[in-house]
Structure 1
Amino acid sequence: MAGSGRLTTHVLDTMHGKPARGMRIELHYVHGDHTHHVTDSYTNADGRVDNPLLDEQQFDKGEFEIRFHVGQYFERLGVEIKTPFLNVVPIRFTISEDKHYHVPLLVSPFAYSTYRGS
């Protein structure tokens, strides 16, 4: 059942102090012990995806997971890390209301944080 909400994200590269351009982002719907792929996106120059991950037509309540491909992003930038730590950062969350959900990621090669934004 489609709702009136939407799901957006953005990524900030805290190592370089700028938006994370060109990071691959996957969205999955979580169903029990497995997931269903919904969409793939890449961040733009502002660290955002050009369109919502879920718009009003696709929006639905449930459990979702955004997978941020941070290892690939830092490798592409040429960041030399002797022992890589973060590869794919999964953020699993529940959409329970027909509202705007914004799930940003602040990331370096060794740490990340997120929150429910607006």
Structure 2
Amino acid sequence: MTATLSTHVLDTAKGMPASGIAVRLETLDGVQLAGGHTDHDGRLRDWAPPLTPGVYRLVFDTHAYLGDTGFYPEVVVTFRIADGTHHHVPLLISPFGYSTYRGS
């Protein structure tokens, strides 16, 4: 049983997608499985290998996007895959905050 993964980043301060953000997919022990940059729509699609059940993390380089005005230079989202469905993990950012959720 394997799952697919996608993500996107929205800049809530600007009200638009955040393009060009570097994102890494890692195992819990830090082994990098995939990497890429968000596109013009703030999305990464078809970039990650099929994932088996387990715990993973997405590492977003927000400093390169927000610069020194951003309070969080990096955002790490740790999540669990328990089944073979599609998993969508969005990130909403602003210079002084972020949030995430399991999307569809």
Query: TM-score if structure 2 supplies the norm length?
Result: 0.92
Runs of 4+ in 1 over 6 A off after TM superposition: none
The letter for the 2-side match of 1:111 is G
Report the counterpart of residue 57 of structure 2 in structure 1: 65
Could you tell me the percent identity over the aligned residues? 38
What's the Cα RMSD here? 1.4
Choose the corresponding residue for 1:45, options 28, 40, 45: 40
Report the counterpart of residue 111 of structure 1 in structure 2: 97
Larger radius of gyration: 1
CA contact (8 A) 2:6 2:45 kept: no
Which of the pair is proportionally richer in strand? 2
Residue 13 of structure 1: how far off its partner (Å): 0.6
In 2, Cα distance between the equivalents of 1:7 and 1:60?
11
Secondary structure (helix, strand or coil) at the match of 1:71 reads helix
The letter for the 2-side match of 1:11 is V
- Unpaired segments of 5 or more residues in structure 2? none
Query: TM-score if structure 1 supplies the norm length?
Result: 0.82
Alignment of 1:85-104 (within 5 A): 85-104=71-90
Question: How many residues are treated as equivalent by the alignment?
Answer: 104
Report the counterpart of residue 8 of structure 1 in structure 2: 6
Secondary structure (helix, strand or coil) at the match of 1:10 reads strand
In 2, Cα distance between the equivalents of 1:52 and 1:16?
26
- Unpaired segments of 5 or more residues in structure 1? none
In 1, Cα distance between the equivalents of 2:45 and 2:78?
21
Report the counterpart of residue 28 of structure 1 in structure 2: 26
